[in-house]
Amino acid sequence: MVDEDQVRDRLRSVEDPALGSDIVSLGLIDDIDVAVGDGDGDEKGTAAVSVSFGAPYAPDEMDMGDRIREEIEDLGLEPTVSPEQPATTDSPLPGVRNVVPIASGKGGVGKTTVATNLATALARTGARVGLLDADIYGPNVPGMIGIEAQPGMSPEGDIVPPEADGITLMSMAFLTEEETDPAMLRGPMIDKLLGQLIRETDWGELDYLLVDLPPGTGDEQLTLMQHAPVTGAVVVTTPEDIALEDVRKGVRMFIDQNVPVLGVVENMSAYRCPSCGDQHDLYGTGGGQRIADEFDVPLLAEIPMDPAIRAGSDADEPVTALKEGPAADRFIELQDTVLNRVGAVNRGAVADVDLEGVPPTDGPAE
């Protein structure tokens, strides 16, 4: 008769591709519960395994889940695998599993484009996705994503964000449009508004809350890290050298605040000519890789300069909504690398494994 120890032994053959060891040695298996069958084979025994996974729909975690099921089936048992995500009950955003800012030290590199396309791609996987447009000086996500509805108010006085195409959206645009001229806002005011937007929004249950940060290393970025438990930041750059110094400052800001850096996205990598299909390096090459190497973090994706991306944001339809074509493919690649890295950061925290770009202690510095 198979018991819990035998199941545990079998699971030692399941490797975690990011943490470099097996899931049992890493301490990722929380619980194994074996129920025996009826002995004559009519009713199969079962094994329920709960495992510390932190990134719903991450390809690595889905593969590990499949491997766990295979091993259990090999033992003649019916498997159930439950991902145990870290509790968020003492978090200021209790229903939100992962907060992922999309940032850059430099303006105009495509943060909003990356954030909206990534959100759309994620929502299509089935993940519960929120998008916070925190760019107080030029909030433009609602336009890019084509959400026209305005937020409502719950009986408790919380802001109820509008939802479209599976994305829950809040934007500084909703708060600042009429009452305030954003250019007049000063640090404490920004802090108050952004803090309000984060905490007083009824986000519901979300797997991922993406935050489109304004460029720079100023008040909004610091506010976010004080008001929300950031899982890790995605830093966007363009390939040319002139962009890199600002982007470096952006990466350093997260490191100084003890916030994990998930990796770098190089946007406008090369121009893909729609008629001949050839790639042309309009802005040089390799900037994203250089920043990634410098800080020892992954290069998450290289997104080409593609008229379809611009046309998509002008038409309120991120290119990933189309789910095909070279630009959409790159964003879907990005979705996979981001989710795998979110998973690695969360599992690394459980297993106490240090990863490059991830500070050894949790949360922002005091």
Ligand X SMILES: Nc1ncnc2c1ncn2[C@@H]1O[C@H](COP(=O)(O)OP(=O)(O)OP(=O)(O)O)[C@@H](O)[C@H]1O
**Residues that bind ligand X in the complex, under the rule CB under 6 A:** 107-113, 135, 138, 215, 267-268, 303, 305-306, 309-310, 313
- Find the shortest distance in angstroms from Cβ 153 to ligand X: 28
Q: Is 107 annotated as a binding residue?
A: yes
Q: Is 46 annotated as a binding residue?
A: no
- Find the shortest distance in angstroms from Cβ 113 to ligand X: 3
Rounded Cα gap, residues 198 and 95, in angstroms: 12
Cβ density class 36-64: b for 16+ within 10 Å, e for less = ebeeeeeeebebbbbbbbbbbbbbbbbeb
- Find the shortest distance in angstroms from Cβ 139 to ligand X: 9
Which structure tokens are listed for 172?
């500084």
Give the single-character DSSP code of 130: E
Nearer to ligand X, 56 or 110 (CB): 110
- Is the distance from CB of 329 to CB of 1 less than 8 angstroms? no
- Is the distance from CB of 96 to CB of 81 less than 8 angstroms? no
Interhelix angle 111-125/326-351, rounded to 10 degrees, is: 80
DSSP string, 321-332: GT--SHHHHHHH
Nearer to ligand X, 190 or 349 (CB): 190
Q: Is 146 annotated as a binding residue?
A: no
Nearer to ligand X, 63 or 316 (CB): 316
Nearest CA among 260, 269, 285 for reference residue 338: 260
Rounded Cα gap, residues 258 and 296, in angstroms: 15
Nearer to ligand X, 101 or 229 (CB): 101
Nearer to ligand X, 135 or 219 (CB): 135
- Find the shortest distance in angstroms from Cβ 104 to ligand X: 6
**308 CB burial (10 A radius; 0-12, 13-18, 19+):** middle
Q: Is 65 annotated as a binding residue?
A: no
Rounded Cα gap, residues 338 and 54, in angstroms: 12
Q: For the chain, how big is the Rg over CA atoms in Å? A: 22
Strands (E) in 229-314, as ranges, are: 233-237, 261-272, 279-280, 299-305
Nearer to ligand X, 231 or 313 (CB): 313
H or E element that contains 74: helix 59-74
- Find the shortest distance in angstroms from Cβ 176 to ligand X: 15
- Find the shortest distance in angstroms from Cβ 335 to ligand X: 15
Nearer to ligand X, 203 or 331 (CB): 331
- Find the shortest distance in angstroms from Cβ 292 to ligand X: 18
Q: Which residues are annotated as a binding site?
A: 105-112
Binding site for ATP: which residues?
105-112
